[in-house]
Amino acid sequence: MPPIDPGAAAPPASSLAQALAHAAAGTQGLRIFNGQGELETQASYRELLLQARARATQLRGLARRGPVPTVVGLIAQTHWPFLVNFMACQWAGMLPCPLPPPSVGQGIGPYARRIRAMLAAVQASALLLDDLHSPLQSHFSALETPETTELPVVPVCALPPADETAALQPLQPDEGAYIQFSSGTTSAPKGIEISQRAICNNLNSILHGGLRIQAGDRAFSWLPLYHDMGLVGFFLAPVMGGVPLDLLPAQAFARRPQLWPRLMAQLQSTVCFAPSFAWRLAADRTTPHEAAELQLRLRVAGVGGDVVRTDDLNRFAARFAASGFAPGQFQPSYGLAEATLAVCMGPVHVDEEGRLACGRPLPGWQVRVVDDSGASVPALQTGRIQIQGNALMTGYWQGGQRQPVAPGDWFQTDDLGYLARSGALVVTGRQQSLLVLRGRNVQAEAIETAVGAALQLPHGTVMAFQDATAASSASSASGLTVLVECALQDEAMREQCRSIARKAVFIACGNAADVRLVPPRTVKLTTSGKVARRSTIDQLARAHD
């Protein structure tokens, strides 16, 4: 391999391989903590580069010739091997495809089938298993059929030795960078191909136009690395900016949300992002006494991944006021995987309608709101959000076919919202969660928020939808059905919950609803914390078959 020579005064990186080479010339690096908050891994960006390039020489045998890129599936655990393997793909000229790790309570058989289907959708050349996940090889092999045997499942330990003399052919600025799967709120996940130009454009917009990164900044994240907020925002962005990074596995946050603010205080973190509900959860799980003992140095407390809820942010700000946290440190944002990550970002701003805005478009992006005919609508009028910019995806992968998007076209998102007079974007919900109740449009999120507040339930435990089979029932002429997770056994208390929920629904939208109490964890969530309506409804249907 040639020596590392990023140059003393290197221009902005035009590829991820180049970005890592630039970061390796500095003194910064990353740390990974375990579920107890103990340091597990510490390494410099130079160490990451050296190990990634060595691993890249081992991957050459996986390369596939022809017009279709070589795609390598990687299980995106928040640990050092994934980071090395992801960057190794950049240096080996292959597109990494981050995949979710097995979740607690999920059977290995269903998990293996899901991963197989995802890899088939993007015509993957191989699934690379690090040492932690190599025991899964037998489960993937057990699924092999004449149609699936073309996908090798390769443990890292089975790769040939590294060859320091081998010449590497890293991915170039005009090639792809990786394939990111959509979170799948309403449909089956599909692969999203992001180019090197798109990722570099978006990272520079985020670092300099959004976060306005400063000397002395330190990033912290527990976001999963198979999701765009975690992968792009809190792995690739720190690498591009040479910013020191601290990581905590998402499972650790899920088990102990209070560990998040404690570690941020201990590590003196200045930049962090999370979905709206996570800020509230951290506040709810931290006692006033515990919060008073912390000293936070957050400069940017970013909020993204879902509709921003003022109540969630207020709860965190109130709980951690004694820790030195101020509401002005929140920075709402708007983005989607099809846009690489971020489209809008800005300081906290309540618009004329009393809603929290997600900021103005970042450099390189334009945003407009249109009606059903595609015509632009004036400020404050709700419609469909469209985006246009230099970080838009190359296209989708689905069913083994690449579906390119036309460069320069306006991209129709699935989100609804409006532009404030200031130019800031306000997101009100998703097109797929829009309910038509007696001829009136109502966002499912508005009903879910109202019921959750009335019953004092956390985000992700209530789901509203229209059930066509129930549209003629006496309790819900519009077919409005509301699922409420409930662990209570006493029937009198359960009926009280139903009554409170029905009243909250009527106040929110003027409609009666069929309120169904369901066991905890019935409502499924995406990796970014959105309610996964389609998979929840499908699961309910299967349960009643």
DSSP β-ladder status, 191-195 and 401-404 = unpaired
Please report, for the domain that includes residue 523, its CATH number. 3.30.300.30
Task: Give the list of residues 6+ apart from residue 128 with CB closer than 8 angstroms, or none.
Answer: 59, 62, 72, 73, 74, 85, 154, 156
Task: Give the list of residues 6+ apart from residue 107 with CB closer than 8 angstroms, or none.
Answer: none
pLDDT of the chain, 545 residues: tens digit per residue: 444 433 334 568 999 999 999 999 999 999 999 999 999 999 999 999 999 999 999 998 888 756 778 999 999 999 999 999 999 999 999 999 999 999 876 788 888 888 998 999 999 999 999 999 988 888 887 666 555 556 789 999 999 999 989 999 999 999 999 999 986 544 566 899 999 999 999 999 999 999 999 999 999 999 999 999 999 999 999 999 999 999 999 999 999 999 999 999 999 999 999 999 999 999 999 999 999 999 999 999 999 977 788 889 999 999 999 999 999 999 999 999 999 999 999 998 887 777 889 999 999 999 999 999 999 999 999 999 999 999 999 999 988 888 999 888 999 999 999 999 999 999 988 887 888 887 777 888 889 888 988 998 988 899 999 876 554 444 445 789 999 999 999 899 999 999 999 999 988 888 899 999 999 989 988 766 778 888 888 788 777 65
Which of helix, strand or coil describes residue 204?
helix
Task: Look at residue 108 and tell me if it is in a domain.
Answer: yes
Task: Look at residue 491 and tell me if it is in a domain.
Answer: yes
Split into its structural domains, the chain has a count of 2
Task: Look at residue 91 and tell me if it is in a domain.
Answer: yes
- Main-chain dihedrals φ then ψ at residue 543, nearest 5 degrees: -65, -25
* Tokens representing residue 186 in the block: 């309403």
Please list the helix, strand and coil fractions of the chain in percent, rounded to the nearest 5, in that order.
35, 25, 40
**How far apart are the C-alpha atoms of 127 and 65, rounded to whole Å?**
17
Beta-strand ranges (E) seen in 461-535 are: 462-466, 480-485, 514-518
Task: Look at residue 35 and tell me if it is in a domain.
Answer: no
Task: Look at residue 59 and tell me if it is in a domain.
Answer: yes
Task: Look at residue 115 and tell me if it is in a domain.
Answer: yes
DSSP H or E run through 321:
none
Q: Does residue 249 contact residue 222 with C-beta atoms inside 8 Å?
A: yes
Q: Which range of residues forms the domain containing residue 55?
A: 51-162+170-192
* 458 CB neighbour count, 10 Å cutoff: 13
Among 303, 321, 324, 325, CA closest to 312 = 303
**How far apart are the C-alpha atoms of 103 and 45, rounded to whole Å?**
29
DSSP β-ladder status, 383-389 and 365-370 = antiparallel
Among 101, 77, 97, CA closest to 151 = 97
Task: Concatenate the DSSP letters of all residues of 184-197 into one string.
Answer: -SSS---EEEEEHH
pLDDT value for 5: 39
* Residue for token pair 């990974």: 32
Task: Look at residue 273 and tell me if it is in a domain.
Answer: no
Could you tell me where the DSSP H helices lie in 362-460? 444-455
* Sign of the torsion formed by the C-alpha atoms of 533, 538, 539 and 540: positive
Task: Look at residue 88 and tell me if it is in a domain.
Answer: yes
Among 190, 210, 12, CA closest to 97 = 190
pLDDT value for 419: 96
First and final C-alpha spacing in the chain? 59
Q: How distant, in Å, are the alpha carbons of 35, 81, 203 from that of 38?
A: 7, 18, 30
pLDDT value for 477: 52
pTM of the model: 0.87
pLDDT value for 363: 97
**How far apart are the C-alpha atoms of 106 and 115, rounded to whole Å?**
13
**How far apart are the C-alpha atoms of 44 and 20, rounded to whole Å?**
11
Please report, for the domain that includes residue 187, its CATH number. 3.40.50.980
